[in-house]
Structure 1
Amino acid sequence: MPNDQGFSDFFYGAPDGLQLHARVYGETNTGRWPVVCLPGLTRNARDFHELALHLSTHAANPRKVIAFDYRGRGQSAYDPDVKNYNVGVEAGDVLAGLAALDIAEAAFIGTSRGGLIVHVLGMIRPAVLKAIVFNDIGPVIEVAGLAHIQSYLERDPTPKTFAEAVDIQRSVHGEDFSALTDADWARMVWALYRETDQGLMPDFDPKLVDTVASLDLTQKLPDLWPQFEALAAIPLLAIRGANSRLLSAGTLEQMGKHHSMMETIIVEDQGHAPFLETGGLPSDIAAFLDRAERKNIPK
């Protein structure tokens, strides 16, 4: 049953037996497409809380929303084998969670790494994808964006207080996110950290940092254009932060040329990745899902 925060915790076993976690918002099956929310590399289900509440309690078209914690993040167990922290394994974990919830198809919202997982799902289980929202991700990842991620993960200090954590995040990301309010920064910190005896700690397995630090950014990164083109028949909304270092304006333009049904939103004064609960984004995403579902109804 949902708690007083609007969701229930769902635990399930990964294909290799690791215990994983997801949040489920909106227990009732409304007949609408459910929505699957997939976070970024080191993020977790809490990133989607406000958006999930909006979608699951929408007055006209409420939807069931499932927000996943990947292995090694949030309330999911840490994997003793760091090699399993990859998008292929994580895509399999998501499919296992959907099977446990008896969900055969859904709309997917993927932030950063979550969008890469959607690319993988399009190759291994395309029928599960009814509509897609990419949040600041596409088939080409800019080296400058990955370098920025490497930099702040490698030197991420441990804050002693919530206020100090907010100050740290502002110092790292403030230039790219001038649109954020104090409340936005507070939500970011609430979603990113957990309380421990040593103070606030990022809520992910520290070994994840090694998977990013080991990337050789002097080499050209492989693109995912074949995987993206496989999504061409699926309604797509691409959201880009105007200050993004990971998804370039040029890549976004090319995505539109490869996908005739793609809609686009540019979020001013935000970088990688836009906060989906800010501005009009919750209503924009809900409206996109409604349009996509209406077009899907057989005549």
Structure 2
Amino acid sequence: MSDVAVSRFVTATDGLKLHVRDFAARDRKALPVICLPGLARTTDDFETLAAALAAGGRRVIALDYRGRGRSDYDPDPAKYSLPVELGDVITVLTALALEPAVFVGTSRGGLLTMLMAAVRPASVAGAVLNDIGPMLEAEGLVRIKGYVGKLPTPSSYDEAARVLARLFGAQFPNLSHHDWLLSARRTYKDKDGGLVVNYDVALGKALDDFDPQKPLPDLWPQFEALKDVPVMVIRGALSDLLSATTVLEMERRHPALETLVVPDQGHAPLLTESGTISRIAAFIGRCDAERTKISG
């Protein structure tokens, strides 16, 4: 990631080391931003967004969940669960004195954001939910279950880029080979002279209980815990996980909801385009203003 950030390690309650990227603040009055990645993703996904927000003086923290990126892998795959990961996020918030903050959560990170609002509402001053909502589409979960922990082992980053383009090209039809190379370097890492995925393959077990034939639980109560703070939802126009119907219901339940649909991207939007970053930055500024109004 960018040279403007430093790596820190926070010890979880069970002793595992959690890696965060910390973009230091120049504006101490601005709300910090917590970036939470998707299920098998890492801090690298937020490099462009975090650097842009930090350039404006804001402190930004991006977290590798346990079993991802530079955080310790858990010897017990059962701990790759939302309750344990929520506890890890709370540990990081406390250790780095980051409350309250604006949360930017991609996919699983958005689920964690809604759960945080329900159990620790004072911590959340605003939320950006990137291609995630209280209802998930079975089609998208089936697709995700089909590749997490099961990606091929390529012999080079060029081959990795072609693998990712083949698997995910329908979700991101406009990405170039260069774009897929960048994605490959975020997905794989060098180890013992070869490439391996940048997460514990046992993470796939987190989806073992998912059965597309059974009704999916919803998180509407957790979403409604965000009713008193600004919320922005970003949806990829090609998303198979967050439906347009769910977004409409989110707008009905949270009338001040800000919505952004990213064309020609699926699950989950990359948050790298200047227009998207500008919208997120403006939304976070709105969170600052709302917080000032409340505290003032």
- Name the TM tier (shorter chain): over 0.9
1:168-247 to 2 correspondences below 5 Å: 168-197=163-192, 199-247=194-242
> How many Å apart are 1:29 and its aligned residue?
5.0
CA distance in 2, matches of 1:14, 1:153: 24
User: Which residue of 2 is the match for residue 10 of structure 1?
Assistant: 8
Q: Secondary structure at the match of 2:70?
A: coil
Q: Secondary structure at the match of 1:32?
A: coil
Q: Percent identity?
A: 43
Gaps of 5+ in 1: none
> How many Å apart are 1:27 and its aligned residue?
4.6
Q: Secondary structure at the match of 2:99?
A: coil
CA distance in 2, matches of 1:198, 1:23: 26
Deviations along 1:165-209, whole A, 9 cap, x unmatched? 100110011111123234432222221111112521111111101
Q: Which amino acid aligns with 2:51?
A: L
Q: 1:220 to 1:228 in 2, by over 3 A?
A: same
CA distance in 2, matches of 1:25, 1:181: 29
User: Which residue of 1 is the match for residue 48 of structure 2?
Assistant: 50
> How many Å apart are 1:156 and its aligned residue?
1.4
1:288 is the counterpart of 2:283: yes
> How many Å apart are 1:155 and its aligned residue?
4.1
Q: Secondary structure at the match of 1:48?
A: helix
> How many Å apart are 1:213 and its aligned residue?
3.6
Q: Secondary structure at the match of 1:280?
A: helix
User: Which residue of 1 is the match for residue 292 of structure 2?
Assistant: 297
Q: Give the conservation status (yes or no) of the 8 Å contact 1:154–1:213.
A: no
The correspondence for 1:153, drawn from 148, 154, 157, is 148
Deviations along 1:210-262, whole A, 9 cap, x unmatched? 22244222111100011111111110010000000000010011000011221
Q: Give the conservation status (yes or no) of the 8 Å contact 2:149–2:200.
A: no
Q: 1:155 to 1:96 in 2, by over 3 A?
A: closer
Q: TM-score, normalised by structure 1?
A: 0.94
Q: Give the conservation status (yes or no) of the 8 Å contact 1:37–1:65.
A: yes
Q: Give the conservation status (yes or no) of the 8 Å contact 1:26–1:57.
A: no
Structure 1: which 4+ aligned runs deviate by more than 3 Å?
A: none
User: Which residue of 2 is the match for residue 142 of structure 1?
Assistant: 137
Deviations along 1:132-187, whole A, 9 cap, x unmatched? 00000000010000001112236410011000010011001111112323443222
Deviations along 1:74-114, whole A, 9 cap, x unmatched? 11001111111111111110111111112221000000000
CA distance in 2, matches of 1:170, 1:113: 22
CA distance in 1, matches of 2:92, 2:149: 31
Gaps of 5+ in 2: none
CA distance in 1, matches of 2:2, 2:163: 31
